[in-house]
Amino acid sequence: MLTELIAVGADVERNRASSLAQRIIDFRDADENPQPAGAEDPAYAAAGSPFRTRGGPLEATEDLLQVLGFDFDLFERLRPLVTVHGRGDGRVDPVAAPLSVLRVLAGGNEQMASAYAAAVSVDVPDRYSSAGLDGPLAMVENPIDGRILLRLVDPTEIAADAAPVLDKRAK
Ligand SMILES: [Ca+2]
């Protein structure tokens, strides 16, 4: 899903997006075993990068710039979509995310993507913010294997009286 976000959100060719996604995972995970198309410290050294993998969560969106292969142009395209919070949870900003990105994150479910797009344009952000979330799209790290997952948080999980537009969504 992270690959999809990079590919669609930043308009990056899919193989490159997959590699970048794997490098983000390697940047964060504690091991030194690179993903198939990822990069651990030896690759950073070989590429002449001044940075090394963190072995921990991203602390700021700008940390993406330390990941091998990310440049400022790519960062600028991704920044509106991804925010990084104190404990390493990145969340897609649904207000900034275009429908094409929402569609990807909804697993191709056009109806769900449209419902979320409509929801964030109404008053749902207040509900998420009162629940400590920035929006319905949460990027979370699987604590077991460190994989980064994206999931949609159903507004009805947060407030029983979600925006009327969401009532139209098929259950
Ligand atoms: Ca690794």
Q: How far apart are CA 125 and CA 97, in angstroms?
A: 14
Note whether 143 and 89 are same-domain residues: yes
Q: Decide if 69 is inside a domain.
A: no
State the distance from the centre of ligand 1 to the C-alpha of 122, rounded, in angstroms: 41
CA of 26 to the centre of ligand 1 (A): 4
Q: Is 51 exposed, middle or buried (0-12, 13-18, 19+ CB in 10 A)?
A: middle
Structural domain of 152: 80-171
Same domain, 51 and 3: yes
Per the prediction, the chain carries an average pLDDT of: 70
Which of 93, 102, 94, 91 minimizes the C-alpha distance to 141?
Answer: 91
d(CA 17, CA 2) in angstroms, rounded, equals 8
**Is residue 16 assigned to a domain?**
yes
pTM of the complete model: 0.60
How confident is the model over 19-68, as pLDDT tens digits?
Answer: 999 999 999 899 999 999 999 999 999 999 999 999 987 777 778 889 99
Q: Distances from the Cα of 103 to the Cαs of 31, 157, 160, in angstroms?
A: 33, 20, 24
Are residues 94 and 31 part of one domain? no
- Tell me how far the alpha carbon of residue 103 lies from the centroid of ligand 1, in angstroms: 29
Instruction: Please write the tens of the pLDDT for every residue from 102-128.
Output: 677 666 677 777 766 665 554 445 555
If you measure from the C-alpha of residue 31 to the centroid of ligand 1, how many angstroms do you get, rounded to a whole number?
Answer: 5
Determine the residue type at 156. Answer: T
| CA 78 centroid distance within chain | 9
